[in-house]
A and B are shown apart, each in its own frame.
Chain A
Amino acid sequence: MNEELIISGRMNPYIDPHLEVWEWQIPLYLFLGGLAAGLLFFAAYFVMTGKEKKYPTTVKYGPIVAFIAISIGLVALLLDLKHPLYFWQLYTTIRIDSPMSWGAWVLLIITFVSLIWIFSYLKEAFPKYNCKIGFIHNLLGIFIVKNDDETWEWKYSWLDTFEKYAQSNRYAWAWVMAVLSVILGVYTGILLSAFNARPLWNTAILGPLFLTSGFSTGAAMLMIMTKNHEERLSYSRIDLFLIVIELFFITHLFMGFLASSQVKVEAAHYFLGGEFTVTFWVNVIILGLVLPAVLEALELLKYKIPVIIPGLLILWGGIMFRFIMVEAGQIIRYLY
Chain B
Amino acid sequence: MRYGMAIDTKKCVGCSDCVVACQTENNIPHGYARDWISETVSGTYPELALEIRSERCNHCDNTPCVRTCPTGASHVIEGGIVKVTHEECIGCGACVESCPYDARYFHPDGYVDKCTFCDHRVKNGQDPACVSVCPTYCMYFGDLDDPNSEVSKKIATRKTKVLAPEAGTKPQIFYLI
Contacts and interface: CB of A to CB of B under 8 A. Distances in A.
A15 B105 contact: yes
Contact of B90 (A8, A90, A198): A90
B71 interface: yes
B102 interface: yes
B68 interface: yes
Contact of A12 (B33, B42, B67): B33
A273 to B, nearest CB: 24
A9 B18 CA distance: 12
A83 B90 contact: yes
A196 interface: yes
Given A83-B91, A195-B97, A197-B97, A95 B69 contact: yes
Contacts of A261: 166
A156 to B, nearest CB: 37
Contacts of A195: 64, 68, 94, 97-98
B134 interface: no
B165 to A, nearest CB: 10
Interface stretch (A35-43, A181-189, A310-318, A327-335): A327-335
Interface residues of B, number: 50
Given A82-B93, A330-B97, A15 B167 contact: no
Contacts, number: 157
B111 to A, nearest CB: 5
Interface stretch (A99-107, A126-134, A222-230): A99-107
Q: Does more than half of chain A's interface fall in helix, strand or loop, or is it mixed?
A: loop
A326 to B, nearest CB: 10
A330 B97 CA distance: 8
Interface string B104-119: 1110011110000000
A81 B91 contact: yes
B97 A19 contact: yes
B97 A21 contact: yes
Interface string A161-194: 0000000000000000000000000000000001
Interface string A210-238: 00000000000000000000000000000
A109 to B, nearest CB: 15
A270 B121 CA distance: 44
Nearest to B102: A15
B132 to A, nearest CB: 20
Given A1-B44, A21-B96, A100-B94, A335 B19 contact: no
Contacts of A335: 100-102, 163-164
Contact of A8 (B36, B87, B98): B36
Given A2-B42, A90-B71, A261-B166, A82 B106 contact: yes
A194 B99 CA distance: 11
Nearest to A102: B70
B106 A334 contact: no
Contacts of B69: 95, 98
A334 B167 contact: yes
Interface string B66-81: 0111111100000000
Interface string B27-64: 00001110011111111100000000001000000001
A6 B98 contact: no
B160 interface: no
A19 to B, nearest CB: 7
Interface in A283-336: 330, 333-336
Q: Which of B33, B71, B105 has the most CB of A within 10 A?
A: B71
Given A89-B73, A89-B88, A100 B33 contact: no
A100 B164 CA distance: 25
B168 interface: yes
A99 B68 contact: yes
B67 A97 contact: yes
Interface string A1-21: 111111111111111100101
A49 interface: no
6 contacts: A4-B41, A12-B33, A89-B73, A97-B68, A100-B70, A196-B167
